[in-house]
Structures are given as C-alpha cells and as structure tokens.
C-alpha cells in the first residue's frame, strides 16, 4: 500500500495533505526517512510515524462493489413494502451488511450503482459541489428535434428550478417504432431528474440505464451481477472528489 494512502486510511490526513507531510520529511518508516514519490508500506508490519508519533495500522479494509441494478429493485437497505432491494444482490459477500448504495437509481431504472461502506467517499460523490458526472443510455418516445435536444442541454424548468446544463447526443432509433436512443450526461442529482425533464419536453422515458459514475463504468457487467472494484478504480473515484 502506498504511504499516502496508508496515512489517509489511518485518519492522519487526506492523500494530498499526506503527500505534503511526506515531502516535508515529517514521516518516517521503520525509523528511516521516506523518499518522495510514494513509498510502499506493509500495514501491520512496517512502523510508520509522523513527527515521531507512531501511526497505527490502517483500519479494516473498506468495501467497494459495483452492481448492475435491474429494474424493479429499490436503491435502499430497507423498505416497508418489502420490495426487492439492490443490497439483496450482494447479501452473500463478506461485509455485505455494511454496504450502502451511493445515491439513488429509481425503481424503474437499471444500470450502474455503487455500494460501499466508505462513508466519506459516498458523501462526496453525492455532494453537489463535486459535480460528479453520471452517464445514461435512454430510450424515449418520439423523435426529439434539434431544438428540443438543445433545451435539454441548456436546462429544463422543473419544480426545483432550472436543471444544470447537460450533455446530450442521439444514438439512433429505439427498438420500437417512433422511439429514439439518447446518451445523456448529468452533473446534478435531483429526484428522477432525467425522467421528469424528458417528460416535460414531450418525450417520456421508456427505458433508462446508467452506464457511468465519474470514472467508474458499467462495462460488460451482467444485469443483476456485482463485482469488487479494482484498486485503480477506487483511487480514481477518490481522486474525482479530492480525497
């Protein structure tokens, strides 16, 4: 594990501040100075100290799971109506009882959702100030005109106000007559925002699939399946929100 990540997980400082501590010569490993550039350490084996005070080993590893949520599953950990939960798709995994969905993907939508017990990452990914991009493949009723698509790009008036600008492109005709496939990227997370926006423009959504959250992509993950994130994917997500 890189030293800056060890310090971050041990609660000493975020990775960028940890880099500054290392560069200032305030961190030692096994009593010796640490070279700049990210020395590797072995949690529980190497002795890490900051300003002479030993830093305990990093806490138990956090869990990060990508799920391809089918339609009909609720993005929650409980439901009074006993509807299927996205967390039920990972119930057999170690630490599954600690996993929580990051944000929402409405009941009738499908696609990528992240489950984790990393509370800080979850909070930042959902916070409006980070403007984390979310990409969708959408099938709508009708054939949106260029003028309609431009309205969606600029912003649509909803109850909360005007939506933030979005990226929109036409992928082609949908699976049925008089339907259209769109690619849409949002950086805002109002409730059912994309469905409501398209309905307001006269093109109700027939199918909605999320394919990307920031740098994390759905890829070829089968519907209803789940997979652990690679360390590089976790690092990319944390970098996306300045962790």
Active-site residue identified among 19, 106, 178, 207: 106
Catalytic-residue membership of 106 = yes
Region class of 36: left (phi > 0), else alpha (psi between -120 and 50), else beta = beta
Residue among 193, 235, 192, 200 nearest 214 (CA) = 235
Residue among 76, 63, 59 nearest 116 (CA) = 63
C-alpha count within 13 angstroms, C-beta hemisphere, residue 155: 12
- Is there a contact between 243 and 126 (Cβ–Cβ < 8 Å)? no
The overall longest dimension of the chain from CA atoms, in Å, is 71
- Is there a contact between 39 and 2 (Cβ–Cβ < 8 Å)? yes
Q: Which residues of 130-163 are buried (b: 16+ CB within 10 A; e: fewer)?
A: eebebbbbbbbbeebeeebbebbeeebebeeeeb
Residues involved in catalysis: 106
């Amino acid at each position: 594990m890189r030293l800056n990540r060890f310090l971050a997980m041990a609660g000493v400082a975020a990775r960028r501040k940890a880099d500054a501590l290392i560069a200032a010569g305030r961190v030692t490993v096994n009593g010796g100075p640490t070279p700049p550039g990210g020395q590797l350490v072995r949690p529980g084996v190497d002795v890490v100290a900051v300003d002479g005070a030993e830093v305990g080993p990093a806490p138990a590893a956090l869990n990060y799971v990508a799920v391809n949520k089918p339609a009909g599953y609720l993005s929650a950990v409980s439901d009074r109506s006993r509807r299927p939960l996205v967390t039920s798709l990972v119930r057999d995994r170690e630490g599954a009882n600690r996993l929580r969905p990051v944000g929402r993907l409405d009941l009738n939508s499908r696609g990528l959702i992240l489950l984790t017990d990393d509370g800080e990452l979850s909070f930042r990914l959902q916070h409006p100030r980070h403007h984390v991009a979310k990409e969708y493949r959408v099938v709508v009723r009708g054939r949106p005109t260029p003028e309609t698509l431009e309205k969606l790009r600029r912003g649509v008036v909803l109850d909360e106000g005007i939506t933030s600008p979005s990226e929109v492109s036409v992928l082609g005709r949908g699976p049925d007559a008089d339907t259209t496939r769109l690619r849409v990227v949002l950086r805002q997370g109002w409730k059912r925002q994309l469905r409501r926006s398209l309905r307001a423009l006269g093109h109700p959504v027939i199918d909605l699939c999320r394919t990307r959250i920031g740098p994390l992509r759905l890829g070829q993950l089968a519907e209803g399946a789940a997979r652990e994130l690679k360390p590089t994917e976790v690092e990319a997500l944390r970098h996306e929100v300045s962790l």
